Amino acid sequence: DAKTTQPTSMDCAEGRAANLPCNHSTISGNEYVYWYRQIHSQGPQYIIHGLKNNETNEMASLIITEDRKSSTLILPHATLRDTAVYYCIVRPGGLYNFNKFYFGSGTKLNVKP
């Protein structure tokens, strides 16, 4: 059962930052926020995850609100290859509980030239 809410689709101009929101208002204290993306007819690709603090890696930044009820994935300079469905997932922490890794409907990001 997905515990997140995301917009169905978003458009972004190539070269601009893409900001993808996610609502997870029922998140528990030990649950992490994960972001994956799925390019058409491929398996999901890990992007980033976090618990409380904002996180950044070579792909994206993750901004989590102080109350942890929502987060935003930021792709700093979107390219056409970033066109994909982006999934925000909430999962209990630890090395287990991956059977509770539920995918919601995700956000289809369309990057346009």
Partner 1 sequence: GAVVSQHPSWVICKSGTSVKIECRSLDFQATTMFWYRQFPKQSLMLMATSNEGSKATYEQGVEKDKFLINHASLTLSTLTVTSAHPEDSSFYICSARGTGNVVGEKLFFGSGTQLSVL
Closest by CA position to 60, among listed 32, 39, 44, 37 = 37
Per CB under 8 A, the segment of 12-20, 59-67, 68-76, 102-110 that binds partner 1 is 102-110
Q: Interface with partner 1 by CB under 8 A: which range of 16-24, 45-53, 65-73, 75-83?
A: 45-53
C-alpha 42: how far from its chain's center?
A: 17
- Taking CB under 8 A as the binding criterion, the range among 8-16, 17-25, 59-67, 98-106 that sits at the site for partner 1 is 98-106
45 binds partner 1 (CB under 8 A): yes
Beta strands in the chain (DSSP E): 9-13, 18-23, 31-38, 45-50, 55-56, 61-64, 70-75, 84-92, 107-112
Task: Tell me: does residue 102 bind partner 1 (CB under 8 A).
Answer: yes
Reading the block at residue 27, the tokens are 């998140």
- Residues of the shown chain interacting with partner 1 in the complex, contacts defined by CB under 8 A: 2, 32, 34, 36, 38, 41-46, 49, 87, 95, 98-99, 101-106
